[in-house]
Amino acid sequence: MGLEAKNVTEETVSAVSKFGYEQELKGSMTVVQLTAFGLNYMLPLAPAVIFGVLLATSGGTVALPFLFAGIAMLLTAFSYSTMVRNYPLSGSVYSYVGRGWNAHLGFLAGWVVTLDYVLIPTITSVSAAYMVQEYFPAVPFWVLLGVFSVGIGLLNLFGVELMNKLGIWFLLLGEFVVWTCILVWGKAVHMDGAGTGTLLSMQPFHFDSVSGLVAATSLAVLSFLGFDAITTLAEETKEPKRDIPKAIFMCVGIGLVTMVVCSYVAMLVIPEWRTHVNDANWMNTVLLQVSEKAGGDLFGLFFTAGFLSSLAVFNMVATAAGARLLYGMGRDNLLPKSIFAAVNKKFSTPHFNIIFIVAIEFILGNTMDINLISNLVNYGAFFGFTALNLSVIWLYYVKKKGESPLKLGSQPNWLPSGLQHIRYFVLPLLGFSVIAYIWFGMDRLALLLGTVWLAIGIAFLFSRTNGFKKLPPSLHEAE
């Protein structure tokens, strides 16, 4: 048994050993810590990262894309909570699709979702570098990117204990900043007559076209991926079957309210945004412009400090989640096991995976457009979400091997009946349909590049499994 097995409950050790694994990761996280982890991943100031892109893509609204994306994520959250009860393992959709439906499809889901976890830290690092360069234009971009990405990567090597201790405080700080911003923006509109001059307006809900709104919604999903990241910590949670579903719904609910309110009030301040649409610098830092307009330069500095702090926390938890997804795939020998399944004995962290993500982050951050990276992230998310929703239906209605809800004692090979079909069939099917619709409304270049990445994964899997004829030993039970 792993060195840190004493830190987990018997439930976690039993669940891991049931699938032929050894408990190696430190299991200490509670539902509050998991929720903080997911919300920090979402970023309390998440709208700031892609606000300008959503605004230009939709043609005037940011609140609606976040609202629709949040509703879609709530539907998919039901499927996540169901699958984590069945398979409380690291690996997220890789484990859920692989064991609930088909091991080969599970690998492909994990392969494509790696786009999320490897590229998301790149987006935050690039955003941070751009923001700092506003104040220190003489410092080269690559230097700022390197300091941010490498520094946060080093913190990740110390394991989840650091996040456990600081995560809640980081979250409270981030929420304090975002709600302070909302209050100051609202005061400027209501008391000082800035922007629309009224807090009740349809201005924040205007958009140019349905296709633009759908495309913006597909991008907005990026800001909700924190709930998926929670599931990567299943083996580091004291009571995963109970606590992870609770944390998922709390995370999506709180994030949805925060993002919609933040976006709504911000747009009240800048109804004249179209006059700045051709100014790339203004569009890349919209909420900074909103903060300076509403509260002056000093308040703009306050926003920047809070934004950079949130980005640092986001980057830390995103790298942690990505490292554990790669760990799950490496442990099953679908990625080189000696590298991706290696665990640092002192800190109980998959250290090579962290180093790999930081390297990719630095290289791509210096060579790729942030808008394209954002779209590629969501390609991975949409592929994983659609496969996950269908896996719930496959597990309960085709394989007929799903577990009952906890209140029924987690009975194996349980069959839904009556109103239970809503939870295990209707909601997953609805989640699949909504995600698929949004998916095909995203940027065409990103669709093409994402599909190329999927094709590479299929070719890689073909070679690793002798033409899909064999599986790693630990996944035989999945078939």
77 domain-assigned = yes
Domain count, the chain: 1
411 domain-assigned = no
- The pLDDT of residue 9 is 52
260 domain-assigned = yes
Model pTM score: 0.81
Q: Give me the average pLDDT of each 10-residue run along the chain (479 residues).
A: 43 58 62 85 75 93 96 93 87 85 88 81 84 84 89 71 67 88 96 94 95 91 83 81 92 92 96 91 88 94 87 78 78 81 79 88 85 81 93 96 87 92 96 90 85 92 83 51
State the residue range of the domain holding 258: 5-395+422-478
Beta bridge partners of 29: 237
410 domain-assigned = no
- The pLDDT of residue 476 is 44
206 domain-assigned = yes
Beta bridge partners of 237: 29
| CA dist., res. 351 & res. 347, Å (int) | 9
149 domain-assigned = yes
Helix (H, G, I), strand (E, B) or coil at 413: coil
At CA 252, angle to CA 246 and CA 254, rounded to 5? 95
Find where tokens 């412009």 sit: 289
Say which CATH number the domain at 348 has.
1.20.1740.10
403 domain-assigned = no
Burial class (CB in 10 A: 0-12, 13-18, 19+), 406: exposed
- Render pLDDT for 181-230 as a digit per residue (tens, 0 to 9): 999 999 999 999 999 999 999 999 999 999 999 989 988 988 888 788 78
Tokens encoding 24? 């190696």
Tokens encoding 209? 């076209």
CA dihedral of 445, 362, 459, 383, whole degrees rounded to 10: -50
416 domain-assigned = no
What does R_g of the chain's alpha carbons equal in angstroms?
22
